[in-house]
Amino acid sequence: MTEIRKVLIANRGEIALRVIRACREVGLKTVAVYSTVDEMALHTRFADEAVCIGPGAATKSYLNIPNLIAAAEISGADAVHPGYGFLSERAEFADAVQKCGMVFIGPDPEHMRLMGDKVRARQTMEAAGVPVLPGTGVLESGEQAQAAAKEIGLPVILKASAGGGGRGMKIVWDLDKIPAILETAQSEAQAAFGCGDMYLERYIQSPRHIEVQIVADMHGNVIDLYERECSVQRRHQKVIEEAPASNFDDGVRTQMRQAAIAAARAINYHSLGTIEFLLDGDKFYFMEMNTRVQVEHCVTEMVTGVDLVQEQLRLATGEPLGHLQQDFRPRGHSIECRINAEDPVNFAPCPGTISALHLPGGTGVRVDTHVYQGYKVSPYYDSMLGKLIVHAPTRPQAIARMRRALGECVFEGISTNIALHRWILKQAPFVQGKYDTHFLERDLDPDAIRAEIDLHA
């Protein structure tokens, strides 16, 4: 097995703190990196060392591979953890880390390339027997797209082969409009991802988004840690996650878990990974694989008791999965709310200084955050301030606990989306566990959310 002594965390914010904590518990030294904007950030204070990697713009700091590699070499780090976002799924970064003789805490670069190419990923999963939606390879022309859409049946969705996170998607309801929409989508994909390749799939109008957490070692062992429900979304961006999924047939759950394991085995995957599916009634279809730790990993940790970041560290050294129990059963229910610095009605980002702060506590409450009173929320980066996670014996108890915890959250000086979360947790579709990915866009009530703001002012 490979020995690791010091880990550089190539990220910022709450995930950088999360990795630092996991490393410290297993006796590893840590190196934080920071932009000039983040000089006073908590991850720079709690790491053993901190290295400045450039100015505020992410392209000149957290996305600057030469600067990150230099920071690792200067500090004597022998491993790099990418967190999520930024360079976490960039194969060229993993290549650079490995070529410099350091351990990349994640999968092989080729796994990233394969799963990052959505067309190749679809083809690989189909060959492995994992259900995929009717669709195409890379589209060569508008006429080809029209013919495929006619065969599949409308509506269809155009997706960027190099895309992810909901970017580069176009839903099409009219065959005649496909050539123009495809041309626009290709231009947008080229600008966003450096690749204009597009493909097409049948569009499911009211799906649920359910993902399975898998853990795989370098010795061919793969297990899953059950599923997470991620259907509360806005513009394909997750807002609330929970584990396990409610109103989910046990037979379909078992089939989905088996498909996730088959997906990982099909590419000889190792490290943490998440297989994401769309659920349409009792049918499910592969959507994509994330080759990193997920933002929402916390709800899985709460119901299984497994520290997933520490698992990443162990797997990167070549340690087998023998220490993990093979027959996990979810214990209770966990819900996570993403707390963002944004207007809860129009979702506009809200940078500024947090003038007063109070975070909730008590039994079954966890807060993963990097902010503090006096913290300046920068316009340079994602608006997420942290994650509020609760755990309780049952889903109704977890909802009640989350409502209570949200009521204790105080952020002054900036706007947050806490009122949106309070509103969601009162809605019948969410309370009954009968919601899909269009729940927010269909039911959002701006006046009711403003009332939530006034109620807790």
Just list the catalytic residues: 292
Question: Alpha carbon of 391 to those of 171, 329, 387: distances in Å?
Answer: 37, 15, 13
Tokens of residue 4, six digits: 């690791």
Say how far apart CA 215 and CA 217 lie, in whole Å.
7
Q: Letter for the amino acid at 116?
A: G
DSSP 3-state of 116:
helix
Side chain identity at residue 103, one-letter code: V
Tokens linked to 173: 């309801």
How far is C-alpha 416 from the chain's CA centre? 20
- 237 forms bridges with which residues in the sheet? 234
* Angstrom distance (rounded) from CA 195 to CA 60: 22
Q: How far apart are CA 400 and CA 21, in angstroms?
A: 29
CB contact at 8 A, 422 and 456: yes
What residue ranges in 161-221 does DSSP mark as E strands? 170-172, 198-202, 208-216
Give CA–CA dist 408/357, Å, rounded: 10
C-alpha to C-alpha distance for 177 and 266, rounded to whole angstroms: 37
Give the three-class secondary structure for 437. Answer: coil
Q: Are 263 and 285 in contact (CB under 8 A)?
A: no
**Residue in 375, 385, 394, 275 with CA at minimum distance from that of residue 337:** 385
Reduce the DSSP state of residue 373 to 3 states and report it: coil
The helix (H) or strand (E) run that includes residue 150 is helix 142-152
Distance from C-alpha of 321 to C-alpha of 170, rounded to nearest angstrom: 41
454, with CB counted inside 10 A (0-12, 13-18, 19+), is: exposed
Asked if residue 143 lies in contact with residue 189, where contact means CB atoms within 8 angstroms, the answer is no
Q: Are 456 and 440 in contact (CB under 8 A)?
A: no
